[in-house]
């Protein structure tokens, strides 16, 4: 398995020792506390699980600006996006050296982590604009990621954290949520050394399934990690539990046993296109994967990014900075001429009409009416689950 990013071994920030954790939970009751954003809670979960290795906590303004401009922290660590605890008002913890961070995503707001406060700073308008443009490629407030980043506050609480739990993820998605540590352990038990990872925030259609199979064969891999985002998405995206059911059914019916691990991670989608693709690569390197599949408009939204910007961003990233290899995929679709799913740039003598191409809008419309998409587009077992979901959303 591949080495973690930035260190020889993972540094998960979850306090695994039960006695130490109980002691910290008791300590948290006497500490000044603050309710953090969903994004900051997701960052805590990722820090806790080792996905953000080798970071030890939330970044300060200087590191955030350095990451935005150069994809490096001030110490020189390669990193693509700021990892922040941003709040509207930090007066409740002003002057405190150690604080409790309260989870906004669970009723009663239990403490998710304890933070040692190194600094409390505030981004200027210019700094917010610089980070927004660098990370998201736009400052358009219609972009869901831009809007989220610019509406949680701009006061930055930096410093190392100790993570006490994984929010709601390990409870609501007990069969699927895994830390980077756990994924490495599971792949180790299976004897996997070369592993291709597939990132998804959607149910997988036939083209996605075949893309995983292509990468698996092309790279002569030992296994496939299907790694789904379990956190908050934009309006209209399929909920995580439905996605989970779809993917598990597809793997159960159509993949050989012990060739695929279906897992998920607790993080809110950024929709940051190229920068988020690089972050996804770090997640998977920390999970032990050797390859990440990056397809068309990876981590994108709307028309904010070019179809292959999330691939070309890796052109100037050296192996010194990132060990994981990128499996670059073109648009994948069913060829009527060849009677199979192909990568469109690999076949000759094809026109657009030779492929089965359906827009997301068209597919949602069909499913909403109880119509299964053609078998060349979606597995019938997956379509059944999605039709039931759409039926349940009709009032």
- C-alpha 225/C-alpha 261 separation (Å) is 5
Gap between the Cα atoms of 53 and 12, Å rounded: 7
* 1 touches 184 (CB < 8 A): yes
Report CA-CA distances (Å) from 14 to 7, 98, 225, 268, 320.
Answer: 17, 17, 23, 19, 28
Q: Which of 98, 201, 296, 364 is catalytic?
A: 201
Question: Could you give the count of Cα atoms lying within 13 Å of 5 in the half-sphere of its Cβ?
Answer: 30
Which secondary-structure segment (H or E) carries 274?
helix 274-286
Q: Using alpha carbons, select from 228, 322, 236 the residue that is nearest to residue 267.
A: 228
* 378: exposed, middle or buried (Cβ count in 10 Å: 0-12, 13-18, 19+): buried
Which two tokens mark 179?
Answer: 């830390």
Of the candidates 98, 202, 248, 364, the residue annotated as catalytic is 202
CA 252 to chain centre: 23
On whether the CB atoms of residues 178 and 264 are closer than 8 A, the answer is yes
Eight-state DSSP code of residue 373: P
Active site residue 201: yes
CA distance 154 to 128: 8
Q: Which residues are marked as active site?
A: 201-202
């Amino acid at each position: 398995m591949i080495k973690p990013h930035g260190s020889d071994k993972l540094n998960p920030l979850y306090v695994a020792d039960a006695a130490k954790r109980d002691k910290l939970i008791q300590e948290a009751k006497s500490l000044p506390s603050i309710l953090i954003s969903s994004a900051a809670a997701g960052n805590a979960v990722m820090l806790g699980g080792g996905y953000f290795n080798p970071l030890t906590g939330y970044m300060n303004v200087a590191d955030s600006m350095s990451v935005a401009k150069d994809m490096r922290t001030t110490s020189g660590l390669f990193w693509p996006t700021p990892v922040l605890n941003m709040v509207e008002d930090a007066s409740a913890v002003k002057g405190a050296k150690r604080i409790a961070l309260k989870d906004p995503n669970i009723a009663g707001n239990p403490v998710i982590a304890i933070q040692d406060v190194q600094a409390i700073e505030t981004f200027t308008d210019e700094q917010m604009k610089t980070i927004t443009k660098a990370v998201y490629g736009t400052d358009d407030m219609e972009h869901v990621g831009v809007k989220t980043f610019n509406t949680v506050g701009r006061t930055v609480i930096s410093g190392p954290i100790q993570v006490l739990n994984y929010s709601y993820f390990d409870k609501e998605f007990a069969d699927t949520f895994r830390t980077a540590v756990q994924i490495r352990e599971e792949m180790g038990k299976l004897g996997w050394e070369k592993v291709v990872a597939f990132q998804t925030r959607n149910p997988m259609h036939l083209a996605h399934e075949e893309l995983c199979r292509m990468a698996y064969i092309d790279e002569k891999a030992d296994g496939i990690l299907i790694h789904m985002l379990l956190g908050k998405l934009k309006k209209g995206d399929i909920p995580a539990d439905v996605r989970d059911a779809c993917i598990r059914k597809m793997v159960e019916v159509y993949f050989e046993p012990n060739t695929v691990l279906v897992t998920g991670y607790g993080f809110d989608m950024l929709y940051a296109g190229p920068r988020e693709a690089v972050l996804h690569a770090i997640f998977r390197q920390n999970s032990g994967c050797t390859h990440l599949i990056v397809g068309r408009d990876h981590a994108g939204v709307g028309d904010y990014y070019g179809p292959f910007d999330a691939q070309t961003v890796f052109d100037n990233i050296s192996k010194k900075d990132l060990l994981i290899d990128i499996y670059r995929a073109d648009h994948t679709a069913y060829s009527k001429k060849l009677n199979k799913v192909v990568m469109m740039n690999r076949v000759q003598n094809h026109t657009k009409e030779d492929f089965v191409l359906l827009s997301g809008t068209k597919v949602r419309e069909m499913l909403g009416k109880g119509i299964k998409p053609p078998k060349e587009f979606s597995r019938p077992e997956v379509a059944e689950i999605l039709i039931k979901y759409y039926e349940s959303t009709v009032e």
